[in-house]
Amino acid sequence: MIAQVIINLSLDKAFDYEIPEKLEKQILPGMKVLVPFGRSTRDGYVVDIVAESDFPSLKEIIDVNTSHLPIPVPLMEIGKWMAEYYCCSKEKAIISLLPGAVRSGKVKTKFFTYYKVSDNDTAKKYIEENGKRNKAKARVLQTLLHYLELSSTQLQKHADTSKSVINLLVKDGLVVEEKREVQRDPFEGSQIIKDTPLKPTEEQLVALEQIYEVIDRQNETCDLCKKKEPHTVLLHGVTGSGKTEVYLQAITKILEQGKETIVLVPEISLTPQTVQRFRARFGNLVSVLHSSLSDGERFDEWTKIAKGEVKITVGARSALFAPFKNLGLIIVDEEHENSYKQDESPRYNARDVAVMRGYKEKATVILGSATPSFESYYNALNKKYILSTLKTRVDDGFMPKIKVIDMKQERALNSEGGVFSKELIYAIRDRLASREQVILFLNKRGFAKQMQCEECGFIATCATCARDEDHPVSFTYHRERETLSCHSCGLIIAAYANCPECQSSKIRYPGLGTEKIERLAKGIFQGARVKRMDSDTMTKMSLYEDTLDEFKQGKIDILIGTQMIAKGLHFPKVTLVGIMYADMSLFSPDFRAWEKTFQLVTQVAGRAGRGEIKGEVILQTYSPYNPAILCAKEHDFEAFYEEDIEVREQLLYPPMARLIVVHFRGENEPQLLQFIETFNKQIAPYLNDDIMVSPASPSPNSKIKGKFRYMTMYRGENITNLRQALRHYALHLKKSKNIDVYIDVDAINLM
Ligand code: ADP
Ligand code: ZN
Ligand code: ZN
């Protein structure tokens, strides 16, 4: 037999190796193996086992590597599919199925050594005969006779002795040691407070019935019946409508069938509170895969899943590759979130791969959101997914009233009205007086968008990110740290005290950032406790949790923040949400700009009025008549979809067509353009008439860190051939070392 093995060399190639007889029974696809390669040896993964090879005289596999359990075969299939679909090399895709901690082989299973006496009578006899002469040894034996077995540290403590005495007893054969596997526990010390299922509301009941029907259908054996019916449910439920309770009851059904569940949540929502809701219902059947686990914990969580010791895992994007073998359900919460798309190779969207994995493994998929992505909603309208809707909040809470403030008028009427409108100031004062809480949202960190000299007009810009004089990239000014930072490349420099051009000290800071809002708020609302929450202040997960706790306990009156505060948080005392400048995301050069604005406004507004008291939202904007703002004001997703889908239809943008973006990057612009030309010549034959091409042009961020960036966009319904050609040439066309080319299929980030 012959094993096809991938080795991590980015060659996009599997190598054939003979399986030696002694390993024939052991080797399976998904296994890690040691193979000879050139003059050395390497680790690789078996992707397939075949009977024949095109190559004569193959080398033999040296050994299997048992540092981790094999990747389950159906999951390997997903890896192969991703390599093709997302146009990356085979090894990139396969390797991304494993957490780094598992793949590295550096983390080892953790063992504890336990001790017991080899034989009770011999031990007693030894104590009788030698107890006086050898007190230390006798004490150990006595202790073990009492406790039966103890770990090394326990034994040393209880017998008041040292490791060397124990070792001597082992050598004498009086004590035996036994190594046993133990698991690192990310939940260590945290208690589970069990909860019981809530009685579903009428709407939840309807949704659950739809979901159960899909679940039951997955067990049908007739492939023909199954193919026709969707296996994916889009759960469109307004914020606070009880989507999580629906997930929990669906999981219960899956558990009853002896199957497993993956729950994906965006990284930013993966807080202990989120995991707690699942643990409260399912206790130790829940495992967790998130970025603040130690390598050891991650290794053990992964192993528990692979062994089937847990039935549910809750995690961010890559938890989709949890090595369950009997998967019944995948839940993707906040399915519209961009963070499900990985922005490095493989550039997969976990939501879409979830649908694919569900299909291949006969598992039901639930996509949940208050603001579904257009892609998912389109699929639901076209009956590819089943649409399930929760229109009302569970606690009879009303949706918060959204009041739109036209900032152009505000500015005309009120000379100081640049940042805080009068309405907003009054409303905040009102809440402060009645001891309620306020959230202020702005999607831009830092103090100001720019640092500008009033005398000569100089603007501080990032030198490595400006393509030419006409395309400057201005630094964001951070007052707290007195720095200028480039939000394109991450460069940070000390802020100028004076203008570097004319030495003037008259500096302006136009444009809004959360830091400026914080400073202004502290000035206007004297005595209020104000705190800011963005990636500048929340540098650790623990800080984030502490701040949320403080807020929950009422120790903060006004919480100011970026997207970080927009997600799924539940604060009953928040009765006012201020959206400082809703236009921030409206005018980016992206066909999804309106959609993103609608989602953001809805998410942020959803934080208001989650308790007894009715919530209010004040939304400040310079575009009060933009459909995204108008529809968000009315909480009307359907109306917004109908409005915006027309534009997509006219311009052939997703979901009306597939979108592939090819990115080209290089330091030398003429050389880069030359390469693009060669590349496009190869691709030309694969372009059908119905494919729309936006020829290579500078990306909106046209230079970052000294590298010029170009992109080509392809849109069309039938792009499979094109995709294959792009994949082939991007991976295999000869290019000079300092040029990068990569393909982004179903692209989301258009920068
Ligand atoms: P969503 O995820 O849709 O925003 P949640 O699942 O967080 O909503 O539910 C909002 C609140 O309603 C939670 O406090 C939850 O415990 C409660 N809840 C959900 N379903 C029910 C129910 N059937 N009966 C009573 N309370 C419920
Ligand atoms: Zn100047
Ligand atoms: Zn830069």
Q: What is the pLDDT of residues 696-747, one digit of tens each?
A: 888 888 888 889 999 999 999 889 999 999 999 999 888 888 899 999 999 9
Under the banding of pLDDT at 50, 70 and 90, the label for residue 186 is confident
437 and 373 in a common domain:
no
Domain end point (choices 380, 395, 410): 395
pLDDT at 131: 84
Does 257 share its domain with 367?
A: yes
Residue 732 lies in a domain: yes
Q: Which ligand is nearest to the CA of 499?
A: 2
- Co-location of 213 and 310 in the same domain: yes
Task: Categorize the per-residue pLDDT at 415 as very low, low, confident or very high, splitting at 50, 70 and 90.
Answer: low
- Does residue 665 carry a pLDDT above 60? yes
Residue 195 lies in a domain: no
The reply to whether 88 and 126 lie within a common domain is: no
Last residue of a domain, one of 650, 666, 692: 650
The amino acid present at 314, given as its one-letter code, is V
Q: If you average pLDDT over residues 79-83, what whole number do you get?
A: 96
Residue 314 CA to its chain's centroid (Å): 11
Does the residue 103 lie in any domain?
A: no
The protein residue whose alpha carbon is closest to atom 10 in ligand 1 is 240
* 156 in the same domain as 115: yes
Residues 490 and 562 in one domain: no
Q: Which domain-ending residue is among 36, 64, 97? A: 97
Q: Is the pLDDT of residue 568 over 60?
A: no
Average pLDDT score over residue span 39-52: 92
The residue among 539 and 579 whose pLDDT is bigger is 579
pLDDT-above-70 percentage for the chain:
97
* Closest ligand 1 atom number to CA of residue 568: 4
- Which one of the ligands is nearest to 371 CA? 1
Q: Both 423 and 487 in a single domain?
A: no
In the three-class reduction of DSSP (H, G, I as helix; E, B as strand; rest coil), residue 63 is classed as: strand
Report yes or no on 750 lying in a domain.
no
Give every CB contact of residue 167 below 8 A, 6+ residues apart in sequence: none
Report the CATH number that the domain containing residue 628 is assigned in CATH: 3.40.50.300
Residue 330 lies in a domain: no
Neighbours of 188 (CB within 10 A): 7
Q: How many domains does the chain have?
A: 6
CB atoms within 10 A of CB 588: 14
How far is Cα 320 from Cα 340, in angstroms, rounded to an integer?
A: 10
What's the per-residue H, E or C state across 133-144?
Answer: CCHHHHHHHHHH
The CA distances from residue 237 to 131, 231, 241, 703, in Å, are 74, 19, 6, 41
The Å distance, Cα 489 to ligand 3 centre, comes to 4
pLDDT tens-place string over residues 222-244: 766 656 789 999 999 998 899 99
Mean pLDDT of 603-617: 81
| Cross-sheet strand order for the sheet of 2-7 | 14-18, 2-7, 40-50, 32-37, 63-65
Q: Is the CB of 567 under 6 A from ligand 1?
A: no
- Do 287 and 383 reside in the same domain of the chain? yes
pLDDT score for 417: 55
Is 121 a domain residue?
A: yes
Residue among 557, 528, 532 nearest 543 (CA): 532
- Give yes or no for residue 394 CB within 6 A of ligand 1: yes
- Measured between alpha carbons, how far is 566 from 573 in angstroms, rounded to an integer? 16
- CA 545 / ligand 1 centre spacing (Å): 21
Residue 498 and residue 607 in one domain? no
CATH number for position 24: 3.40.1440.60
Which pLDDT value is given to residue 607? 84
Q: Does pLDDT of 56 surpass 80?
A: yes
Look at residue 189 in the predicted model and tell me its pLDDT: 67
Q: Report residues near ion ligand 3: CB below 5 Å.
A: 462, 465, 486, 488-489, 491
**Beta carbons within 10 angstroms of residue 614's beta carbon:** 13
* Cβ contact 573:554 at 8 Å: yes
pTM of the model: 0.87
Based on the domain organization, do 254 and 145 belong to the same domain?
Answer: no
Domain of residue 486 covers: 455-505
Together in a domain, 266 and 355:
yes
Average pLDDT over residues 511-515: 89
664 assigned to some structural domain: yes
Q: What is the mean pLDDT of the chain?
A: 90
The verdict on residue 102 lying in a domain is no
Mutate to test the pocket of ligand 1, among 206, 238, 244 (most ligand atoms within 8 A of CB): 244
Whether residue 602 has its Cβ less than 6 Å from ligand 1: no
pLDDT of residue 400: 85
| Beta-bridge partners for 579 | 441, 619
Task: Determine whether 39 is exposed, middle or buried from the number of CB atoms within 10 Å of its CB (0-12, 13-18, 19+).
Answer: exposed
Closest CA relative to residue 250, chosen from 173, 349, 358: 358
More confident residue, 312 or 690: 312
Is residue 167 located within the same domain as residue 210? no
